[in-house]
Structure 1
Amino acid sequence: MIPKGQALIPKLSQHQTNGNSNLGLLSAPRLPPWLDGPLPQGFPWGSNTAQNTNPYTSPPNTGVTRYYTFHVSRQIVNPDGAYNVSGILINNAFPGPTISANWGDWIQVEVFNDLTDEGTSLHWHGLLQQDTPWFDGVPAVQQCPIAPQSSFTYRFRADLYGTSWYHSHYSAQYAAGAYGAMIIYGPNGTAQYDEDMGPILLSDWFHTPDYFDLVQTVMAPAAENLFPPVSNNNLINGKMNYPCANSTNPNCTPNAGISKFNVTTGKTYRLRLINSGAEGLQKFSIDGAKLTIIANDFVPIQPYQVDVVTLAVGQRSDVLFTATGKSGDAVWMRSTLGTNFCSLNDGISPVAMAAIYYQNANMTAVPTSRSTVSDAALAYCENDDLSLTTPLYQLTPPSHPDTSQVINITYQSNGTHNLFWMNNSTFRANYNDPVLLDAKLGHTKFPSEYNVYNFGQSRSVRLVLYNWAPAGAHPMHLHGHNMYVLASGTGIWDGQITNRNNPQRRDVMLLPGMPSATEPSYTVIQIDMDSPGVWPFHCHIAWHVSSGLYINILERPRDIQNDVSIPSIMAQTCRDWSAWTGDHIPDEIDSGL
């Protein structure tokens, strides 16, 4: 038996497979500096740089479209060898296929829903979707779900660059594996490196037979909902062994396989870190190494060094790692689920480990390096201090936004169930009635459970969020925008702004947990309202959004009605969904998202 909290030192497997995914294999190719296509002034993005180009207004026009075909289906998966789980995969791969494009390309994805008993949809996390707000991929918001045995084609611009991911936004399907990396090649900024190691997806993993069972646990009546789901393992690129002494499965495989990487002494590598998990805060490190953060989400920043990279669910950081070891060395890459209630795990296998081999190393040898990350760092449940982050392209938000809104987040009963509330309203989706399509028809009033915040024609909006819910921190994700993160702390905000002239920008920010039972935490964000549409703003912990921690931001409704031309396929998708639900009842026991 492995004592709780003690890291399992993996044995290595010679048979490392991941369905149709090559992530985490030594054979996985390194990424190029860009994809093929026109090269004006030597680059696909021409003379645009991270320092001189506003990424929100000036994406290049490459004239290139990258085409993908995705099949969403049920598959039995067992990534850590412990238990067979009914997964939801894309193209039979876990993680799903990586989407790649150059900044300014178009991406077209035809999605086939091969599921027989539930809808699906895919969200392209972090992209702005300017001029295509209907392709953001959230059912009940911009579209109806893709009906079983139907297809839907998304087409959108690669309008930002860097590292991101895509995932299902239908209930908690992505907790079953329906996600993959999305790499948009663009200018490198000030940091230089030798090779791009590619995406490194970090995800908590659950041995529960089906994701729907997890949702049932979350949504049980208050009298039965005593404990939220806890994860059972932690994965790097879909891999990690599990100590079979803790498994009741007689067919548990003790050496299911871990991810492996090879490096050369003296070279510097770009690692594209993605927290693609359902709940867990990730603490990423490489034994004995300093890591240099060069981008957060889709925002290049002035580089700074850390011992450990903190990533809440949905967040990404691009980091540089310089291989300072000698020929023949082997060291551990680690991602640890945050301790001190930063993450809910059973304590058996909270540390995902991957092997890094230097040139001439024995690729079957088990590394013996040790982590130097402090217990205090692993127990710190927040992102790095806002003062450390300086975006390379400077933007100063208006000092006096058109609209300011306070939002109080609470966790309370509706009489039978404990749910999350935002200003005393909890969210529930109506799959048959997308808010964007209603707004196009001129509707500005919506049922209370749609949680629509109509900010009219405001051009700048400030949200002051207070966390009064004794349920830890909340990674709050804004669709369609990078938000300015002005301040974060405990108590009542005093009006002070960090880096007022050039604050941090990203699309997921971590609202801290309550410091005590009577004192809130806060985060203050500001949004440039430059993209008419209906944009979700929600906690990215799967169980929290299932429990209603979600609002819709209705942006410039008059412009939606007068200037936004929504393609007819959106209405057809709703007709297809309506036809399917005519004789099938969707099992929507949670918020739906």
Structure 2
Amino acid sequence: MKSCAALVAYALATLASATCPPRVQRAQNRTFSYGTLKAETLPKFLKDNPLPGGTPWGADIDPKTVNPRVPPNTGVTRNYDFTISRGALAPDGYYKKSGILINGQFPGPTIEANWGDMIEVRVTNNITSPDEGTALHWHGLFQNGTAWYDGVPSVSQCPIAPGASFTYKFQAGVFGSSWYHSHYSAQAAGGLFGPLIVYGPSHVEYDEDIGPVMLADWFHKDYFAIVKNVMSNNSSLWANPSDNTLINGRMPYNCSQVTDGTPCGDAPFAKFRFETGKTYKLRLINAGAAGMQYFSIDGQTLQIVANDLTDIQPYNTTIVTLGVGQRSDVLFTPKAINGTKSIWMRTLQSGKFCQRASNPAGRAVILLDGAPDDTIPKTVAYPAPVDDGTCKNDPLELSVPYYEESLPEPSTTFQITVNTIVNASGNQLYTMNGSPFMANYNNPLLGLAYQKNVSYPTQWNTYNFGSNSSVRIVIWNNSSGPHPMHIHGHDMYLLYDGTERWDGTTIVNPLNPVRRDTHNLRPKGWMVMQYNLDNPGVWPFHCHIAWHLSMGMYVNLMESPEKIDAAAIPEVLRETCDAWNEYSKSHVVEQIDSGV
């Protein structure tokens, strides 16, 4: 009889999967120290489950020929234990923020796994004063066969009730840089997010992996108060600029701007130490609520090698553009500028058109070749991108997937129009095809679908594409705001992006189109995407700007729910809904927005 390792090696050779006796690995639960000089570099992979060939995926493989969406089955489970609670937050020195933390940390602990591992996260909801439900979404992971662990309340689960726990378990089915965040109202804007790294075969060479570089706008108000503002039809409240821009949870606030007596003190810059002559991998993540980020390092060339969870043919740039939810892996070989040993790393929120920010420029310190820890750079930034209101990603032509995948013929085409309305209560809302989304926490869509109930109220914005194999969606943004559009359970083939109406035929890179899970829809612009119906479930498709999502910019894409075995749904889901239903019977759930 073949050994488990031999079975998996054979499976990889035939692009199949094999089953090993399960092994549970206690997670390292790495504290978020990135952006400090104590931060550890990341490994090429976690080395406790190598197969023949020296890696967790067996013999060395060529990422150009092995489908990154067909993972090995390593037989290993990575266990994490998260407790979510409120706590004081002052990442920029402004001491008034009540945030939401994981294990007392902001950002939350880093989740790490090898491609093909299972990830198991036990989440305990200790949010009090006031009580709130919660749920965590694992951004960009497809949840093949585990749609109920996608982490969207009212869709894949009931919220986790205060005092209750819920355990997510899913496969690291793709590899690269991502993040997790709350999908309950706008809790992520209160601090409830962290990085998620899946190690896999690399198509580029580098010396060290610096790990996540999380870029985020930061708001001094509580997220609940901001949601109330943006739901208002009062334009002065609705604008709501961010207060600061953080790199790995750090950036000193200009305390001279504080006029209300709130304590404000010193806060550190994030810091990185590099050596000239080495090549470093940076995992850039826009984990913000609303602001597009333009990342750069003074005087340096950056090479983009992956967008979201898709490796691409490398290309060079000086500025990396990231909408909310987007990620880019970049390589960076530092060079000294005029003999200096310290340079600025920067991220700039877009200006008046794409997102207002009181302090749009975030900075971090890069120290070169043994420079003293307290060295402050004096380098000069690249010219800021032109703020022309287009709020666009790099041209689609530049992002060519490394693993080639041809575009199938769509079996149907569907159009979505984005608009704004003011409802009878005076709230400003976003609509998709005329309807703003409104969650029902007590009736998750997946549970209803598995009971063969596929007829829902209009405000649940659910589209069932039946037996279609590949759906092409044409989106027209008839609003003045940008929208980083994110799909769950899939990658999108991105076929067109522009301000001119799509002509119905033009497709960028038709033989190997861009694939990613989030893409910026321009103000008054068009975007055409396509996805394959190969993952039964109910999958959200929405704007990733927290406030736009709160205002209802969300639809559900239903996909072959009859193909999911209801008997496979874990008992913990029923228990979670029982706990939530019991909680909501005796407590008023103040749902002032869409709920997701």
Fold match (TM-score > 0.5): yes
Q: Aligned pair 1:577/2:588, yes or no?
A: no
Matched with 1:12 is none
Q: Deviations over 1:108-147 (max 9, x none)?
A: 0000000131100000000010010100000000000000
1:543 aligns with 2:547: yes
Moved more, 376-385 or 34-43: 376-385
> 1:434: which partner in 2?
444
Report the Cα distance in structure 1 between the residues aligned to 2:241 and 2:160, rounded to whole angstroms. 30
Counterpart position of 1:316: 327
- Which amino acid counterpart does residue 417 of structure 2 have in structure 1? N
Distance 2:186 2:467 in 1: 33
Partner residue in 1 for 2:465: 455
1:3 corresponds to: none
What SS is found at the alignment partner of 1:574? helix
Distance in 1 (CA, whole Å) between partners of 2:266 and 2:375 is 14
Match of 2:205 in 1: 192
How many Å apart are 1:443 and its aligned residue?
Answer: 1.1
Write the distance in 2 (CA, Å) between the matches of 1:557 and 1:307. 45
Classify 1:256/1:584 alpha carbon distance in 2 versus 1 (closer, same or farther; 3 Å): same
Aligned residue for 1:11? none
Match of 2:25 in 1: none
Q: How far did residue 339 of structure 1 move?
A: 2.0
Secondary structure of the residue that 1:295 maps to in structure 2?
strand
Judging changes above 3 Å, is the alpha-carbon distance between structure 1 residues 563 and 461 closer, same or farther for their aligned structure 2 residues?
farther
Is 1:134 aligned to residue 148 of structure 2?
yes
Q: Which amino acid aligns with 1:477?
A: H
For 2:280, the aligned partner's letter is Y
Which of 563, 566, 583 lines up with 2:569 in the alignment? 566
AA matched with 2:176 = G
Task: Tell me the distance in 2 between the aligned counterparts of 1:288 and 1:98.
Answer: 30
1:266 corresponds to which of 265, 277, 295:
277
Q: Does 1:325 align with 2:329?
A: no
1:123 aligns to what SS in structure 2? strand
**What is the aligned partner in structure 2 of residue 443 from structure 1?**
453
Percentage identity across paired residues of the two chains: 49
Amino acid at match of 1:461: V
Secondary structure in structure 1 of the residue aligned to 2:227: helix
Higher relative contact order (CA 8 A, sep 6+): 1
Corresponding position of 1:164? 178
Aligned-CA RMSD value: 1.6
Note the C-alpha offset of 1:91.
Answer: 0.8
Select between 61-70 and 223-232 the one with higher mean Cα deviation: 223-232
Q: Which residue of structure 1 lines up, in the alignment, with residue 532 of structure 2?
A: 528
Partner of 2:56: 44
1:119 aligns with 2:140: no
| d(CA) in 1 for partners of 2:112, 2:126 | 24
Structure 1 residue matching 2:527: 3-state secondary structure: strand
Q: Measure, in 2, the Cα distance between the counterparts of 1:29 and 1:369.
A: 26
Q: 1:492 aligns with which of 497, 501, 508?
A: 501
- Provide the C-alpha distance between the structure 2 equivalents of 1:352 and 1:155, rounded to a whole number of angstroms: 35
Which residue number in structure 1 is paired with residue 109 of structure 2? 97
For 2:566 and 2:404, locate their aligned partners in 1 and report how far apart those are by CA, in whole Å.
Answer: 30
Q: How much does 1:38 deviate?
A: 2.4
Any runs of at least 4 consecutive aligned residues in structure 1 with deviations exceeding 6 A, and if so which?
none
Secondary structure, counterpart of 1:25 in structure 2: coil
Q: Helix, strand or coil: the match of 1:277?
A: coil
CA shift, 1:52, in A, is: 1.0
1:341 pairs with 353, 370, 386, which one? 353
Give the aligned length: 560
Q: Please give the residue correspondences for 1:338-377 in structure 2 after superposition, counting only pairs within 5 Å.
A: 338-346=350-358, 349-376=359-386
Aligned partner letter, 1:35: L
Equivalent-residue separation in structure 2 for 1:45 and 1:586 (angstroms): 46
2:475 corresponds in structure 1 to: 465
Question: Which TM-score applies when normalising by structure 1?
Answer: 0.92
Alignment TM-score, normalising by the size of structure 2: 0.92
| Alignment correspondent of 1:81 | 93
For 1:337, give the aligned amino acid.
Q
Of 109, 129, 135, which residue of structure 1 is paired with 2:121?
109
Contact 1:88-1:178 within 8 A present in 2 as well: yes
Give, in whole Å, the separation in 1 of the partners of 2:104 and 2:451: 39
Q: Which runs of 5+ in 2 are unaligned?
A: 1-29
Structure 1: segments with no counterpart, 5+ residues: 1-18, 515-520
Query: Displacement of 1:373 after TM fit?
Result: 3.1
Tell me how far 1:567 sits from its aligned partner.
1.5
Deviations 1:359-405 (A, max 9, x none): 22122121000112344279762100000011011111213x11211
Tell me which residue corresponds to 2:231: 219
The amino acid across from 2:285 in the alignment is I
Question: Which amino acid in the other structure matches residue 510 of structure 1?
Answer: N
CA distance in 2, matches of 1:84, 1:540: 26
